[in-house]
Amino acid sequence: MKNVTIAFVGGGNMARSLIGGLLADGMPPQNIWVADPNESVLRGHQQRFAVHTTADNGEAVRHAQVIVLAVKPQVAKDVAQTLGPAVRDRQPLVISIAAGIRESDLRGWLGIDTAIVRTMPNTPALVGSGATALFANPAVNKEQKNLAESILRAVGMTLWVDDEGLMDAVTALSGSGPAYFFLIMEAMEQAGHRLGLPHDTARLLTLQTAFGAAKMALESNEELSALRQRVTSPGGTTERAVKVLQEHRLEAVFDEALRAAHQRSVELATMFGGK
């Protein structure tokens, strides 16, 4: 990957985290271009990473074998259509991290034969702990798949889905998921404070408990239900608390919430797509 040149079209937070991860993995900064209309964004990338920067998307693309489309979905169509001639001429790999933009729409804007990997990272990528799902169209070869996976793995774990339709479910689960956990942690912190704990104490205990539970689950081969049961002693405090959560239909609430997020993901893809 060190011999590959990557152009980031859009220099926002996700691009910044990916560039930081790639440089930490040993990619030379001279192999990275960032294109963005915001001069302060470009200056920040230059000062922090010493990469090439430009306000001209076309200039960045002309140097690259890989294009990372890292723009907001509202402007993805205009940006992609502008890049279309250069993409059709150079035939690079295009990795899209534009939320909700379908591969078929990207192919219509960029060129019917474009090799496209659509991805759905989440915000923990900003701290190197992201979860990213990837979908490749038939034009993507094995080497390009490995390359796309290596780029996204610089900010966390990756996995492939064979059906692009599942990307809406990925968006509902892991794309939006950090906000669900923040809400749960916020509720736990506030409940702990109401029980008499100082704010700082309640916050630290909440965050470390969330981190520890996730680490236990990641390092275990057991089902989550088995882990829960193992820490729920009969007649104990945990059992009583879990019973209250179940009586309030926590599982049904999450099912309804994820279905709502899934539906909105489909709606947004339709809204921002089209030829």
Instruction: State mean pLDDT over 224-252.
Output: 97
pLDDT of residue 273: 85
pLDDT band at 89 (very low <50, low <70, confident <90, very high): very high
Give the pLDDT mean for 6-31: 96
Tell the residue number behind the tokens 């294009």, with chain if given.
67
Per-residue pLDDT reduced to its tens digit, 110-147 = 999 999 999 999 999 999 999 999 999 999 999 999 99
Local structure of 49: helix, strand or coil: helix
DSSP string, 186-247: HHHHHHHHHTT--HHHHHHHHHHHHHHHHHHHHT--S-HHHHHHHT--TTSHHHHHHHHHHH
Decide the pairing of beta strands 115-120 and 130-136: antiparallel
Half-sphere exposure of 152 (CA within 13 A, CB side): 30
Nearest CA-CA partner of 55 in 75, 76, 33 = 33
Q: Which residues contact 151 (CB under 8 A, 6 or more apart)?
A: 1, 6, 18, 22, 66, 68, 95
Single out the residue of 137, 134, 127 nearest to residue 149, CA to CA.
Answer: 134
Instruction: Tell me the two tokens of residue 200.
Output: 């700082």
The token pair at 224 is 């989550």
Extended strands (E) in the chain: 6-9, 32-35, 52-54, 66-69, 93-96, 115-120, 130-136, 156-160
Q: What is the pTM of this model?
A: 0.91
Task: State the pLDDT confidence band at 274, using cuts at 50, 70 and 90.
Answer: low
Q: What is the mean pLDDT of residues 243-270?
A: 96
Neighbours of 117 (CB within 10 A): 26
Go through the domains of the chain in sequence order and give each one's CATH number: 6-162 (3.40.50.720), 175-268 (1.10.3730.10)
Per-residue pLDDT, averaged over 266-274, amounts to: 89
Strands 32-35 and 115-120: unpaired
3-state secondary structure of 58: helix
Sorted by sequence, the CB contacts under 8 Å of residue 23 that are 6+ apart come out as 29, 32, 49
Residue 52's SS3 state is strand
**Closest Cα partner for 29 from 10, 12, 6?**
6
